[in-house]
Amino acid sequence: MSAPKVEPATEGRARGIALVRAVSIVSAADRGAFAAVVCLFAVSGLGVAGLVLIGNQLLHELIAQGGAADVSGRTWWLVAAAIGVAGAVSFAGAAGAGMHRLLAERTVRYCAEVILRLAGQVPLREFDSPAFHDKLQRATRTGVQSAIPIAMAVPQLLGALVGSAGLAVGLAVVSPWLVPITLLASVPLWLAGKSNSQEMYSFSFGNTPGDRARFHIEHLTNERKSAPEVRAYRLAPYLLRRWSTLYDERIEGISALVRRFVRRSAVGSLVGSVVLGGVILLVLHFVRRGDLTLGSAATACVAVLLLANRSQQAATSLAQTMEHGLHLQDFVELRDRVEHFERAGRIRRASHPAEVEPLARLVVGDVSFSYPSAARPALDQVSFDIAAGEVIAIVGHNGSGKTTLAKLLCGLYEPTDGAVHWNDRPMSELAGDGGLSEVGVVFQDFGRYWFSAADNIAVGDIERNLDRAAIEDSAEQAGADDFLRRLPDGFDTPLGMEVEGGADLSVGQWQRVAIARVLFRNASFIVLDEPTASLDAEAEAALFETIEGLRAGRTVVLISHRFSTVRSADRILVLHDGRLVENGSHDELMALDGRYRRMYQLQSSAYVDS
């Protein structure tokens, strides 16, 4: 993968946009702190220029007085002014450094918050796209990890520009011709920084898949969930080798870049030093011709050196700011994209589900769905309807489309073709890509939050998270209250061994917490995706009794590969390769003597044989 090609004619415009982008993000993080830092840096820069001008006047005053014993009042005023300006510069520098750090932290927080908001609002199907994950990875890395460098570089750039402008004015008072020549000394470093930043951006863009692979290995190695398998198969050395190979490739690429950067920067510094030396020689030439006094020449030399330093700082900061600004393209695109979705009304915030009437009838009409990188559709022209109060089971081999259909029924996916109607209204209009208030779901990979046991249940309806009585009642209905009350702090115990003071739960106990979560939501339509997959026979029977209790006033869709669980459903839908091939009750499908009967007999024979 390589960075998008930029035509030379538009490169300047792209860099200008990158600069504006970086400045806008830092200012958006905290406008007050941004303004304060820029003002303090400006005071520091202008104060240095003021000291040069005051020093020039003071030097001329002392030369004019010669060896006189009495010091004129003007001299004392100049000394007092120098002391006052020096104090202001010192204060501005110290205060600016502190405010600068605060601004950096606020910028990090702003970027991290934007990424979290984006990840929570983009359509769910985007998470099935490798291209989206690459973009999200770049946005996360550049938006959050580049936040501190950007927050540091932008105010430094503006402060250096203001300081350079002040020094240029001071130097122009002595000799206007010295200003443009001195500024030329910063051009070579700017050109070198410009090339360096473009190469680093191209490298970072192209290395995104490798970075994602490396982060995945780090996740596998560090996560408690994968730690047992890593040890059981002695995978740690193998994973470390793969990780090292990926990191070595990255370092090798950066090393090649750094070698070019050093050569380019050395040439730029050498040319800049030659130009600066020429300026000093020009000052000496003016003195020999009598165009400058010794006092003015001394002032000019100091101003030239300071202006060269500040302008080179500005060139370096400008190059850094533009480099990070280029990196921020993905970050800004994702942010703007979500804002577009919000304006179009296609996305609902997860914390504010769409309010709808309880389910009376759900109609799935000729629904097809394809994942972005899939060769064939996951669902192909599926049609059926569900009436309120029904218990519907969905069965099929792995990969038949069961979980995909569950997400469509919940309104989390929009069909590629066809439509799902909730009480005669398209679910896409009701949900966008977020959850409905009347829909509750337990997925196979349900969330296991590092929250208290009570909060793990309350996430089912976070607006009611303080309703402790309802939380405990939901736990009791799900058969979870007994083991939750026995935890060290009862319902207030954090769940997860990774958390200090946290307690661990078995898979079956976690599933009951997930069931309690959906009960707490008090939705009229519930989808359970493999709710008994990890339970033993006794736990499965107990949980099935709980599921039977869900029928009161609710419509239930149950996805399971265990036919003992689904046979009592009102209707059973059989999926095969994304198509609905059979639809009926257990007795009807057994009499049909089709796919369902073969799968049922195959599974039941295994129990009989054992």
- Tens digits of per-residue pLDDT, 495-521? 988 788 888 888 888 888 988 998 898
Name the class of domain 19-344: mainly alpha
Give the residue from 134, 102, 132, 131 showing the smallest Cα distance to 30. 102
Q: Which residues contact 110 (CB under 8 A, 6 or more apart)?
A: 25, 28, 29, 30, 147
In the chain, which segments carry CATH 1.20.1560.10? 19-344
Ranges of residues in the chain whose predicted pLDDT is under 50? 2-10, 346-353, 610
Report the alpha-carbon distance of residue 527 to residue 71 in Å, rounded.
92
- Grouping H, G, I as helix, E, B as strand and the rest as coil, residue 535 is coil
Report the alpha-carbon distance of residue 522 to residue 473 in Å, rounded.
12
pLDDT of residue 175: 76
Q: What is the CA radius of gyration of the chain?
A: 34
Report, in this order, helix, strand and coil percent for the chain, each rounded to 5.
65, 10, 25
pLDDT of residue 412: 85
Going by the DSSP 8-state scheme, the letter that residue 1 receives in this structure is -
pLDDT of residue 500: 84
Cβ 578 vs Cβ 400: under 8 Å? yes
> Counting beta carbons within 10 angstroms of the beta carbon of residue 523, is it exposed (0 to 12), middle (13 to 18) or buried (19 or more)?
buried
Q: Which residues contact 219 (CB under 8 A, 6 or more apart)?
A: 226
pLDDT of residue 585: 92
In the chain, which segments carry CATH 3.40.50.300? 361-609
Tally of CB atoms within 10 A around 41: 25
pLDDT of residue 467: 92
- What architecture does CATH give domain 361-609? 3-Layer(aba) Sandwich (3.40)
pLDDT of residue 531: 76
pLDDT of residue 6: 44
- Tens digits of per-residue pLDDT, 364-389? 999 999 987 778 899 999 999 999 98
Give the residue from 100, 193, 195, 106 showing the smallest Cα distance to 153. 100
